[in-house]
Structure 1
Amino acid sequence: MQRHPYDSRRRSNGPRRYQKRKPAKGSFGLQVLGLSLIAGVATWQGAPVVESLWSTVSKTPEEIAAIEQSAYYAGCDDARAAGVAPISRGQPGYREGMDGDLDGVACEPYR
């Protein structure tokens, strides 16, 4: 008996077997390299923030106030002109009046 070309019955004699897909050679090494690169960039970018926070935490409130008052800028335009913006809490010239969102960074760049 001949089958019709549009017959929907399976033509194999057993259950379908799926083979596991093998990962490409060297993919684990590339993943480790990529993750190392991401960790390195994150560390490079986060180091100044961590250093600033550490210096703020390790000082007394009197020392922080003396440092912040050691320089005065009338506004963010003056701080940017002096090349010191953005100013983090605990750095010379920082004051809450210049920190619009009170996140500890005054004269942040425009977005």
Structure 2
Amino acid sequence: MTATETREVQVTTTATVRRTVTEQAPAQDGGLSEYYENCDEARAAGAAPVHEGDPGYGPHLDRDRDGVGCE
């Protein structure tokens, strides 16, 4: 005869989350560079798609993090 034992175990996992924050330099006129709250604003301004390094680009506009926002 074979005996079977059942046990409950608690498993804890740890996730490391890294986030990159990009700061934009002030515009040449001393004001802030362009900023779009969302892709609707960028499209309405005729700026979409917005490429990384272009005025108005922000990581919040780039869902897949490929350097192109509001694709």
Per the normalisation by structure 1, the TM-score is 0.37
The structure in which a higher percent of residues are helix is: 1
Residue aligning to 1:75: 38
Aligned: 1:85 with 2:52: no
Q: 1:101 to 1:74 in 2, by over 3 A?
A: same
Gaps of 5+ in 1: 1-63
Q: How far did residue 67 of structure 1 move?
A: 6.2
Which protein has the larger Cα radius of gyration, Structure 1 or Structure 2?
1
AA of the residue aligned to 1:99: D
AA of the residue aligned to 1:74: E
Gaps of 5+ in 2: 1-22
Highest relative contact order (Cα 8 Å, sep 6+), 1 or 2? 2
Q: How far did residue 65 of structure 1 move?
A: 2.3
Aligned: 1:65 with 2:24: yes
Stretches of 4+ aligned residues off by more than 3 angstroms: none
Alpha-carbon RMSD: 2.1
Identity %: 53
How many residues are treated as equivalent by the alignment?
45
